[in-house]
Structure 1
Amino acid sequence: MFTWLSNLTDYAQHLTQRLHYLLAPPGATCLTCGTRAILSSTYPGICPRCMKQIPWIRSIRCLRCGRGVGCPDCARPHLQNRSFILNRSAVQYNTLMKEWIGMYKFRGHERYAPLLTALLIQAFQAMREEQNSALAKEPPAPVAHSATHAQQTKPQWRPDAVTYVPVSSERLAERGFNQAERLAAGLASACRLPIVDLLQRQINTTKQSFKSRGERIESMKEVFSISPGAIDILRELYRGIIASNIVRVHSSPLCLVLIDDIYTTGSTLNACGRVILDIGLSRDIPIEIYTLTLARS
């Protein structure tokens, strides 16, 4: 009798599950809102409704830092000599983006990684188009004489390598990964660019989100240093662009894209860029740094 009732219960549960499957909307569960729907093929894991809520920075108001609204920071005299050429960010750092980034960065939800990387790749493609458009407006630069004749051509903007903002050993142990490194690796893989480890963090600063603007800038001093082996990496990259790319002349700088997750004051990126520029200057390696972040506050 007990066996018969048990079998009947199992059959009822199976039937209920089958009916739920047949009656449920087609598709899969959205990573961010939990709705069952046909998910986006471009932005992994999310439904069309969540995709429409992405706060893209489509209209740039500040050409230096990439902010979509008015920017008082870049007009300040002490910020005129920053280490990077310009910054571009994918999205505004609003409540939704804070939740998405926080789920990945602090709670370790790995399924957010492909989604956030896709946003960064979109921003990189927009930055590349912007730089190519700017190059098209410049007069063509002469290149070195070949065996036959000198050429004049317009180069396409393409960085030589991707690098990233490091985290301290304490943060790495706490989270188990560096979110900036993961984003950089995803971008480098998608765009077929080398990713290089150039920096290390000497000081574990307290969380930047709790600091004022002035405290953020002050706390970044002496935080970063060059990684062991980074000088050899820079030399190899610079020799490679001189030897292999006929579009570039000998004086062309090494072009790097520096990745972080969030741009607030730019103090972290500026400090990282300054370390790289200084080591390049000491070794006669001209370097240009462009920064790319997932979000802009």
Structure 2
Amino acid sequence: MLNRLNDITDFVHQLTHRIHNLFAPPGSTCLTCGTRAVLSPTYPGICTRCVKQIPWIRSIRCQRCGRAIGCPDCIRPHMQNRSFICNRSAVQYNALMKEWIGMYKFRGHERYAPLLTSLLTQAFQAMSEELSSAVAKENQASVAHPATSALPPVDAGFHPPSPRASTYARVQPSSPHTSTVVRDQPQAATRQTQSLLQSPKPRWRPDAVTYVPVSSERLAERGFNQAERLAAGLAAACRLPVVDLLQRRINTAKQSFKTRGERIETMKEAFSMSPGAIDVLRELHMRGAASKTVREHTSPFRLLLVDDIYTTGSTLDACGRVILNAAASSDIPIEIYSLTLARS
């Protein structure tokens, strides 16, 4: 009798489940809002309504730190000598992003990892297009005016990237010099155009990716380093090597509770190079130099430093300074760029 009652109960449960699926809206449950809907093919786990709420940094006001509004930090005289060339971030650190990052970083919801990695990857694509455009303009300026070597301001119009954004520079409009050639020497203009079309477009691309380390106490508490996970996901998506270069010497506690001055002071002696890291950096530099053209051979090694949140930039600056000093002692020319998931 008891077995028959259990069978009836199981049958009712199965029937209820089937009826629920039959009348429920199509799709799956959204990771962030909990509604059942058709999920985005680009941003894993979330519905199209939540995609529209992503606070992309659509225009850049500060070319150095990538902030969408005026930056009081970067205009300070002592901030002009930061260790990184520039920083770019995917989104503004608003209440929604604080919730998403917190669910992953502090509560260990692993399903957020692909979503956050996809946001960072989109920002990297936009960063690549932006800097590739700057390189293209620099090359055009050096051809037209060999004595000019200044890098023109980068164009922030690529933000936010589209899901199908290319990592190549966009075609630049013709210069006045080209118009004169076309008017006076049409055959020479044709040859020049063919030469430009045949030559590969200049492309900005880092040689390796690294990340901001966490202390052993924080690693034991969370079980993972969110910056390392983001860097590994980005490197895998973009086919870039990821390297472990830094270690945190002291536990600096949570930076979110500190003032700007306290953050800067705390970070001064917080990091050092990991054992054997400089050998890894030297090997990557030599390997990259061997595969580059004669012109590329003279260019510095480009390193992309990844973290989750940019607030004052003191953490990234401290990490970059340690790497710059170690590279200089080993005669490795290097440029450091930073990429973060969110910008406060």
Residues 260-275 of structure 1 aligned to structure 2 (within 5 Å)? 260-275=307-322
Q: Which residue of 1 aligns with 2:255?
A: 208
Residues 78-97 of structure 1 aligned to structure 2 (within 5 Å)? 78-97=78-97
Normalising by structure 2, report the TM-score.
0.81
Q: 1:280 aligns with which of 312, 319, 327?
A: 327
1:241-281 deviation per Cα after TM superposition (whole angstroms, max 9, x unaligned): 22111164443100000000000000000000000000111
Task: Give SS of 1:58's match.
Answer: coil
CA distance in 1, matches of 2:289, 2:11: 72
CA distance in 2, matches of 1:196, 1:4: 61
Tell me, yes or no, if structure 1 residue 43 matches structure 2 residue 90.
Answer: no
Tell me, yes or no, if structure 1 residue 190 matches structure 2 residue 237.
Answer: yes
1:142-171 deviation per Cα after TM superposition (whole angstroms, max 9, x unaligned): 9xxxxxxxxx97631111000000001111
Q: Which residue of 1 aligns with 2:111?
A: 111
Q: Which residue of 2 aligns with 1:259?
A: 306
Residues 232-247 of structure 1 aligned to structure 2 (within 5 Å)? 232-246=279-293
Give the drift of 1:92: 0.2
Moved more, 23-32 or 233-242: 233-242
Residue type of the partner of 2:317?
N
Q: Percent identity?
A: 76
CA distance in 2, matches of 1:29, 1:203: 41
Moved more, 9-18 or 157-166: 9-18
Tell me, yes or no, if structure 1 residue 227 matches structure 2 residue 274.
Answer: yes
Aligned length: 288
Tell me, yes or no, if structure 1 residue 65 matches structure 2 residue 65.
Answer: yes
**Cα-Cα RMSD:** 1.6
CA distance in 1, matches of 2:243, 2:251: 22
Give the drift of 1:238: 1.4
Q: 2:227 aligns with which of 180, 184, 196?
A: 180
Give the drift of 1:3: 5.1
Give the drift of 1:5: 4.5
CA distance in 2, matches of 1:36, 1:23: 12
Q: Is the CA contact 1:40–1:47 (under 8 Å) kept in the aligned structure 2?
A: yes
Q: Which residue of 1 aligns with 2:179?
A: none
Normalising by structure 1, report the TM-score.
0.93
1:192-231 deviation per Cα after TM superposition (whole angstroms, max 9, x unaligned): 0000011000000010000001111111011000111111
Q: 1:286 to 1:6 in 2, by over 3 A?
A: closer
Give the drift of 1:14: 2.2
1:122-155 deviation per Cα after TM superposition (whole angstroms, max 9, x unaligned): 000000000011011113679xxxxxxxxx9763
Runs of 4+ aligned residues of structure 1 deviating over 6 Å after TM superposition are: none
Residue type of the partner of 1:52?
K
Q: 1:253 to 1:21 in 2, by over 3 A?
A: same
1:160-191 deviation per Cα after TM superposition (whole angstroms, max 9, x unaligned): 00000000111111111000000000000000
CA distance in 2, matches of 1:252, 1:119: 29
Q: Is the CA contact 1:62–1:70 (under 8 Å) kept in the aligned structure 2?
A: yes
Q: Which residue of 1 aligns with 2:339?
A: 292
Where structure 2 has 5 or more consecutive residues not aligned to the other structure, the ranges are 144-198
CA distance in 2, matches of 1:123, 1:293: 9
CA distance in 1, matches of 2:275, 2:15: 62
Residues 124-203 of structure 1 aligned to structure 2 (within 5 Å)? 124-139=124-139, 155-203=202-250
Where structure 1 has 5 or more consecutive residues not aligned to the other structure, the ranges are 143-151
Task: Give SS of 2:42's match.
Answer: coil
Residue type of the partner of 1:114?
P
Task: Give SS of 1:255's match.
Answer: strand
Task: Give SS of 1:294's match.
Answer: strand
Residue type of the partner of 1:196?
V
CA distance in 2, matches of 1:124, 1:16: 46
